[in-house]
Amino acid sequence: MDSDSDPPDTEQARIRANVRAQALILYQSAMTLSGILLDVQHTDSPWEYESSTRFLASTTCLRGKALATVAKALSSLSQLGLEKEETVQRKAIKAVIYASESQIKSIGHLFRRFIGDLDDLHLALAFLQLRLLHLYCDCDVDSMVDLMQLFAAAVSVIEEIVKLSEMYSLVTYSPYFVFAGVFLSAITIVIKLLKGPVLDYLDAGVGTRAVFTAINLSKRISVRNNDVPAKVGAAYSRLWSSEKIYKNVDGMLWWPLKVRGRLAVSVVFDAYWWLREVSSNPTCGGALPIRMENTALQDLANHVFDGTELDIFGNNGWFLEMD
């Protein structure tokens, strides 16, 4: 039925449903990209009720359902102590990831007739946010397939953003979305995997191209010298070229995350931790505690997300002095 012919009460219901849905999507996206646990009590609504979804566009329902699935997975794992313990039961983590991935696939299948280019990116981001949780598990032979899928998901996000940037100037009109999608997830994962024991199972050429594509995107987002995208782009260039990142004092690889308290973006904070250590500590952090204290982690979070000055990179140019 055309909206112009809807009764007044129906039109008002349509407006209320869409405003509520968009507000919930914004809340879920902001919390997830910041690594903050969602209150999942209200994440099902309005996605689970026909009385609400009949007023919403298919792309809105798809994104809302995908975000709700990720939020539930993170909440379940948080209850298992994902942020607090160095070792959580591997089977429990894997079970939550696999079940949630299955739900995302079902959502994609449900809306397959209506999926557009931006919807593909939303689904790719959902898969990435779930699969990166494999990094909370030990890296062994049994994990190689999962890490290969994580690598594929990270590369897919970068490729989707590049495609949308070429088609719709996504970098120009949605720079934060691009910035968060590339740098707060995909590029860190690609670099960590290419510097880890899973390298022999990956296509290093594809990963290298993805890394430099992401760095170039950051340069396009930057609007002035020394702004946040410019600093992050320079830091990730150092992260890529450093031979010390993710290694102990003895030069052996250190795989577990040292920073675990930011859920789906812990891997990013972990990379920042390593960047700072390799430039200021000759032992590269190997002798320091595995997990940061809560106060130190909060300081790090404030530095990264204060919106004015990315003090994690400081004014002393420490990230430019990396070997």
DSSP 241-306: H-SSTTB-TTS-B--S-S--TTGGGHHHHHHHHHHHHHHH-TTTTTTS-SS--HHHHHHHHHHHHS
The answer to whether 187 touches 211, Cβ cutoff 8 Å, is yes
Q: Please give the backbone phi and psi of residue 253, each rounded to the nearest 5 degrees, phi first.
A: -65, 140
Please give the average per-residue pLDDT across 174-183, as a whole number.
Answer: 70
For residue 46, give Cα distances in angstroms to 21, 24, 25, 53.
Answer: 7, 9, 11, 7
Mind listing the pLDDT tens digit for each residue in 126-148? 999 999 999 888 777 778 899 99
Name the pLDDT band for 9 (thresholds 50, 70, 90): low
**Residue of higher predicted confidence among 317 and 184:** 184
